[in-house]
Chain A
């Protein structure tokens, strides 16, 4: 990437313009498709859930993804989690190893897992991965969720990682707790990233329930298993964490956690937590600004569907899909259920799947990971979902991904069919992460599928729309600035919102940079940032089509 230092137009603080691409003339919008570039690289990783006929309960959840620039070379890299042999839960050979792919300057990837110390050969079956710079040293660290011991890897800044789980005090959990996903965020606004872990149930190979029909195994209904509390770990600094699950109020609201989404839902400057619970009421932990949370999912209208029933809540994302300044919630479900789009009204969330046509669009699909992404840079966040049924029971079980295009923040249309053959590959897709791999301003997607090679779906970036990408660097706030809210106003007066979010979808971490599609707009009047510290910053008169690094000012 070309690095051009350009003077800041209106920064109160230091603002580096990392790339300034020539503004493209406005063109009629076209739908960009996606091309899988994984085959261009030598990638040995295939998610391996140890399926050899006997079905174990956790097997459908394999293949977490993190996209982050682990070596700070300006290019996004990719990390995949992997399973373990069942029932002994050991990564007995490299086919079960986790995988770190470093992006080279030509856009291909090299496997640097062993060199980085990330094979995870001492771990067991890994699920989700959360990226966060917990020690504010400028390098993204990794937290891995597992059937057994969870793991915290410290990024040493030299291309290697060290497992610091024991020393950090963060890996502990009740025996046999399945931890599925996690999210870094600074719940007490002290400038240090804390960690919430979405726990699913109690399970071990010994307690695995076996379900059979006509002498054929099938994955048992999750309702056979108990709910468990999610966990909250407070960052004490200096690499130490303390479990505040009970003290914070998290212990009072158990669930079967899948996706976890961090956002400031009531716009009070404090991060809240949404957790999609499979076959249990979803949780919405509202930050009480005193180190505690109150679970308010029921009163706020996100715990159940509009009929007071639970669904198979899977992955989740929380973004402002209609640019009204309030963060909305999306989570997907299994086929025959309805994916839930919940519009934030300010005082509560309202069911919006019917009015938005999500109800009809989603019915045939079993969704896992997902995310609000503006794939065509028109300024409206679309909804991507990686799909595939839990089990392999019918011809409808293997499914392709879906992309539902946002029409003016009101409704969605299915444009999956126009996304290309690589996008439409059928399978049992699981994790997904969103990123701009080649820094061209168009969001790309990395997807895992059970027991298949992953796809690295490059966005053709052919929509002809403009964009802005912000890389926020916190100083008083945690360096990753997770939760920082950004309001962008274009020259024509159009207002767009986004915030820094890393844990997106299911078991996955996305590019932490904040992306805005701008449509045909060629000038930006202002960008207003509210940092987690409470500091507000305004940048004025910005050019489009650039990647902008913004430091948090002192005041």
Chain B
């Protein structure tokens, strides 16, 4: 989190006047507490000051920082937004706003703020990295590649860029280009980042045991590396080791509660083990990170269906097939829901539709294979 209050504090000390009700003295007290790590106690002081000086942008921004540091991101966002109304082009406040959204798992909102910042300050490496990370989390791999390809050409020493770009390239199946990024990281010695990329590449190549070895090594080298436990979990799923997968996803979520894939994948494992409430909580969070994401919406409906919440499942699945009429598995699950609700005619209709879509899908795949 960017901490802009230090500079302002110095300025305020110079202007501080004496007296308990003196606004500047209140602010001074708030800042002292804040700097001493007493954010909880600083917050009422900031609020008291802002009652008297509602237009004080820096103080409001400081309040946002204090709120964020105590986990009250929604309140922090409100303060940052208020501050930005008065100083819309302040990059520090916008960056803090983006970070608060990011922490809340509102990745789309974070990306929007970071995009605006990037537009204003295209050379700011921190913004570039954060924006790329947000897009990666949203699965917008192509945007990451477009964003970082130029930066990477100009600066081949930045391993963070190589890492993010390599990840996006792997996901986009641009294996050769991704391999260049992996090699670049490896040239700097064995690192968690390199192992993560290697493991991811092996996962893509369906070499699951080898992927697990690399990913486990990456986790050993840097247990706090974003995504490392998530990918390890995904590799374990492929070998059927759901217990190990659960542990891995749980570790990822301890570090990064808003990791979309970990929330989604762990929810599927919980569903399999009939822990439906836990699965729903994870999916709620996944959908906060990626609102409207079809896989998460489908998984939620699927959890409801399996748990016997048939009406909720039906409503969810009906919404999904409206949004994505070609989603075969959703039609299949909707047919199941209808049958279990005793709506045989509707079930038959959905079943027939799913069969028709499957045939069309297979015909397309066959045609693509021939071509």
Q: Which residues of A contact B (CB under 8 A)?
A: 223-224, 296, 298-299, 301, 303-304, 306-309, 336, 338, 348, 350-351, 353-355, 359-364
Contacts and interface: CB of A to CB of B under 8 A. Distances in A.
A308 B242 contact: no
Nearest to A351: B272
Interface stretch (B156-164, B283-291, B329-337): B329-337
Interface in B15-45: none
Nearest to A360: B240
A362 B240 contact: yes
Given A223-B362, A296-B339, A304 B332 contact: yes
A413 to B, nearest CB: 13
Contacts of A296: 339
B326 to A, nearest CB: 14
Most chain A CB inside 10 Å of its own CB: which residue of B268, B274, B332, B347: B332
Contacts of B238: 336, 363
Interface string B288-312: 0000000000000010001000000
Contact of A299 (B240, B241, B336): B336
Closest 5 CB pairs of A and B: A299-B339, A363-B240, A308-B329, A354-B272, A360-B240
5 contacts: A307-B268, A338-B240, A354-B273, A360-B242, A364-B239
Contacts of B329: 307-309
Nearest to B347: A299
Nearest to A359: B240
B269 interface: yes
A390 to B, nearest CB: 17
Given A299-B347, A348-B340, A308 B239 contact: no
Contact of B306 (A306, A309, A338): A306
Interface residues of B, number: 27
Nearest to B272: A354
A338 B237 CA distance: 11
A354 B269 contact: yes
A306 B273 CA distance: 12
Interface in B269-284: 269, 271-274
Nearest to B350: A298
B302 A298 contact: no
Most chain A CB inside 10 Å of its own CB: which residue of B240, B273, B274, B351: B240
A307 B335 CA distance: 13
B273 A355 contact: yes
A309 B271 CA distance: 16
B218 to A, nearest CB: 23
A298 B343 CA distance: 13
A298 B335 contact: yes
Nearest to A294: B344
Contacts of B339: 296, 298-299
Contacts of A306: 271-272, 302, 306
Contact of A350 (B269, B302, B306): B306
Nearest to B340: A299
B241 A360 contact: yes
Contacts of A309: 329
A338 B271 CA distance: 16
Nearest to B329: A308
A360 B245 CA distance: 11
Given A298-B332, A301-B336, A350-B306, 16 more contacts: A296-B339, A298-B335, A298-B347, A303-B332, A306-B302, A307-B329, A336-B238, A338-B240, A351-B306, A353-B272, A354-B272, A354-B273, A360-B240, A360-B243, A364-B239, A364-B240
A404 to B, nearest CB: 13
B328 interface: yes
B317 to A, nearest CB: 10
A308 B240 contact: no
Contacts of B333: 308
Given A299-B339, A301-B336, A355 B272 contact: yes
Contacts of B340: 299, 348
Contact of A363 (B239, B272, B351): B239
Contacts of A304: 332
A365 to B, nearest CB: 10
Contacts of B271: 306
Contact of A354 (B242, B336, B351, B362): B242
B198 to A, nearest CB: 21
Contacts of B240: 338, 359-364
Contacts of B328: 308
Interface in B134-184: none
B366 A359 contact: no
Contacts of B366: 223-224
A223 B302 CA distance: 26
Contacts of A360: 239-243
A359 B330 CA distance: 23
A218 to B, nearest CB: 13
Nearest to B335: A298
Nearest to A226: B359
A308 B333 CA distance: 6
A364 B241 CA distance: 11
B270 to A, nearest CB: 10
Contacts of A299: 335-336, 339-340, 347
A353 B351 CA distance: 25
